Amino acid sequence: MHNVDLNQLASLINKNIPGANAVVNVAPDAKLDSSINIEASHITKTAQWLRSNTELPFNALQAITGIDWMESMEVCYIFANFDVNASRELILKVRLTDRVDPKVDSIMKVYPAADWQEREVYDMFGIKFNNHKDLRRILCPDDWQGWPLRKDYVAAKYYNGIEIYPEAKMNFEDRDFIVRQAMIKKAQETKAQ
């Protein structure tokens, strides 16, 4: 994907960072993007190698995302190389099995761009980044409860005594309709089994 031979890159990572256990996540379709999975404990070393190596360098960090797969969490790093002759992109993934208190090392020392990106992931998913200098909420207020982008998040009704989710403003009929459709589908699936 994106001008990078992922198999070559994964073998390079495995050679240079022992224990990183890089595995290529091949997309089922050519139009979709493939990615590389590595062990969560080796992310700092891998990021350092990605930035400083001479074979396939990545000089910028574009984004850090969290994804909630219900049974586990995933942190997704997107690296890019801003080079006119060798532009490339890489999606690097780290799987965190502990969903209650997920933790991963910070790469803020390698890519300063990670500072705010990691704060955003912490804000939205509650994933803690070890060795981050200033891990606070960034978009939500400091006293906000819960992690909004987790799939099991229930929208808060009140915040500091202010009604923020007024039922009079909600069109529950539509929402019920969609939920009902999903329930019918689920029932049919269980029946088929």
Partner 1 sequence: MNTNSTHETGSVKDYFGNLFNGIKTTVVGMWITFRYVWGVKPVSIEYPEVREVLPERARMRLFNDVQNCISCTQCAMACPVDCIYIASEKRPEGEEIKKTSNGQAIRLKLTQFTIDIGLCCYCGLCTTVCPTECLTHSHDYEFSQYTIDGMKYDYLAPDVIAWRERIVKV
Partner 2 sequence: MQSRWDIGEPIKPTINEDTEQLKSELLTLNMGPQHPATHGVLRIEIWTDSEVVAHVIPHLGYLHRCMEKHSEQMDFRGVIPYVDRLDYLASMNMEWGYAITVEKMLGTEVPRRAELLRIMTGELQRIASHLMAFGTYALDLGAFTPFLYAFDYREKILRFFEEVSGARLLYNYMWIGGLWNDWTDDQLDRVKVFCDEMELEAKKYHQLVSMNKIFVQRTANVGIMSLQDCFDFGATGPILRGAGYKWDLRKNKPYSLYNEFDFDVPVGTGEQGVVGDCWNRYIVRMKEVTESIKIIRQVFDKLEPGPVMGKVSKVIKLPKGEVYVRTEAPRGEIGFHLFSEQDGKTPYRMKVKSPCFTHVSMLPRVAPGQMIADFVATIGSIDIVLGEVDR
- Which of 4, 43, 91, 94 forms a contact with partner 2 (CB under 8 A)? 91
- Which of 5, 8, 41, 60 forms a contact with partner 2 (CB under 8 A)? 60
- Which of 29, 152, 174, 189 forms a contact with partner 1 (CB under 8 A)? 174
Which three-class secondary structure state does DSSP give residue 2?
coil
- The single residue listed with the structure tokens 């997309």 is 27
* 142 counts as binding partner 1 under rule CB under 8 A: no
CA 18 – CA 57 distance, rounded (Å): 19
What the block records as the tokens of 148 is 């909004």
Residues 6-45 that bind partner 2 (CB under 8 A): 27-29, 31-33, 35
Residues 164-193 that bind partner 2 (CB under 8 A): none
Amino acid sitting at position 175 = R
Interface region with partner 1, contact rule CB under 8 A, candidates 42-50, 67-75, 82-90, 169-177: 169-177
CA 11 vs. chain centroid, Å, equals 23
- Which of 5, 8, 19, 82 forms a contact with partner 2 (CB under 8 A)? 82
Interface region with partner 1, contact rule CB under 8 A, candidates 43-51, 140-148, 154-162, 173-181: 173-181
DSSP 51-117: HH-SSS---EEEEEEEEE-SSSEEEEEEEEE--SS--EEEEEEEEE--SSS-EEE--TTT-TTHHHH
How big is the site for partner 1, counted in residues (CB under 8 A)? Answer: 7
* 170 counts as binding partner 1 under rule CB under 8 A: yes
* 171 counts as binding partner 1 under rule CB under 8 A: yes
